Amino acid sequence: MVYLFDNNEIVHVFPHTIMLDQVPKKNRLASSKQSLTSTILDAILGDNIFVQIASMPYSGRKHVTSILSQEEWDDINTKRKEKKRISHLRKKKWIQDRQKGNKVVVRISEDALVSALRDQIKHSKTPLPDGKRCLVLFDFPNAATSARNSWRNLLVKAEFKKDQLSAWSTPFDVCHQLTALAKLLRISDWVKVYKVEPFE
């Protein structure tokens, strides 16, 4: 399979060109095959996770902050199972929440972000428009064998198609998630993500 890139050029679409209105809207606590932990984190993070991660410095521990209305927080933190899981996430220091007026400010740790993104990538079934595919190219150095194997294992679990040894693709819209995860894992120098149009 040969790939025809937009305008016949390789274009890296994230993070420099991503805008918030390009990110698909998510329903809070929408039903999915994700774990309860990932579903809760997804609901808390909302639509601006990718923009926040794109603006993070490359080095140092990372976190994002989400500001929810009291109503949004109550929707997430009302049911018994969710309350129990949120309490568990607090103990793990994956989330920290505090009241600020009529808002709830929730800080999400780096470990929680990585877990949520991995789960989104594995379970997303939203197709890219116009037959496009999400193409992942990676080239890890020999010293990073463990990181390469872990990354390849994620693509296998997400049911990516192996087009070449280090070129994998999927019809599902996970480009932003993959690029954000690569940045959090500090492997952006070795992993590139593109939206491409297959040319048979």
Q: What is the pLDDT of residues 109-160, one digit of tens each?
A: 999 999 989 998 999 889 999 889 999 999 999 999 999 999 999 999 999 9
Structure tokens of 35? 């774990």
Helix ranges restricted to H, the chain: 36-45, 49-54, 70-76, 80-91, 110-123, 145-157, 175-184
Q: Sketch out the chain's domains with CATH numbers.
A: 2-18+126-199 (no CATH), 36-114 (1.10.10)
For 90-101, how does the pLDDT look when each residue is reduced to its tens digit (9 = 90+)? 999 999 999 999
Which residues neighbour 129 within 8 Å (Cβ) at sequence distance 6 or greater?
none
Structure tokens of 49? 């996770």
pLDDT at 71: 92
